[in-house]
C-alpha cells in the first residue's frame, strides 16, 4: 500500500521568511496530492492540492510542486506570517483505484514575529 513520508517534523521560521515542507510517496499510481492545515484546536482544512498532470500550482503565498519521477511533492509558503503557524499534513491517493487519502505524519510550523 501507499506510504507517505513527511519532513521536517518541526519547522521554525521568522516572519517574512519562506518555509518548505517535503513529502515522498511510494505508490507510483498515486495521482492526487493535497495539503491540509490544522490550526491549534481546530479541524484540518484543505489549503491546496495538485494532480499528477500538473507540475506546479500556486495560490497567493502558497505553492505546491510535484516531481512524479522522483515521487516527491513539496509545499512552499512565502512571506510567512504568524497566522501560518499550524500543523501541515501532506497526503496522497490513487483516484482511479478509489483509495482513500494516506497522510504524512505532519509538520509543525512556527512563525515568530
State the residues that interact with another protein by CB under 8 A. 1, 6, 9, 32, 34, 36, 42-46, 49, 89, 93, 95-96, 98, 100-106
List beta partners, residue 48: 35
Please, which residue, 50 or 111, has the CB nearer to another protein? 50
* Shortest distance in whole angstroms from residue 22 CB to another protein: 15
CB of 93 to another protein, least distance (A): 5
3-state secondary structure of 95: helix
Separation of alpha carbons 88 and 85, rounded Å: 9
**Smaller CB distance to another protein: residue 70 or 100?**
100
Q: How far is the CB of 15 from another protein (least distance, A)?
A: 26
Peptide bond connecting 25 to the previous residue in cis, omega within 30 degrees of 0: no
Nearer to another protein, 49 or 78 (CB): 49
Nearer to another protein, 51 or 81 (CB): 51
Residues facing residue 92 across a β-bridge: 102
Three cell numbers at 106? 505532519
Whether 6 contacts 23, CB under 8 Å: yes
The 3-state DSSP class for residue 96 equals: helix
**Least CB distance to another protein at residue 77 (A):** 19
Amino acid at each position: 500500500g501507499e506510504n507517505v513520508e513527511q519532513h521536517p517534523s518541526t519547522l521554525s521560521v521568522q516572519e517574512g521568511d519562506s518555509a518548505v515542507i517535503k513529502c515522498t510517496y511510494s505508490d507510483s499510481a498515486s495521482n492526487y496530492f493535497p495539503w491540509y492545515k490544522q490550526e491549534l484546536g481546530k479541524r484540518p482544512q484543505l489549503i491546496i492540492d495538485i494532480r499528477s498532470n500538473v507540475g506546479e500550482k500556486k495560490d497567493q503565498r502558497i505553492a505546491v510542486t510535484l516531481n512524479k519521477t522522483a515521487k516527491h511533492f513539496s509545499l512552499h509558503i512565502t512571506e510567512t506570517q504568524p497566522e501560518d503557524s499550524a500543523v501541515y499534513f501532506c497526503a496522497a491517493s490513487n483516484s482511479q483505484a478509489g483509495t482513500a487519502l494516506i497522510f504524512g505524519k505532519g509538520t509543525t510550523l512556527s512563525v515568530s514575529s
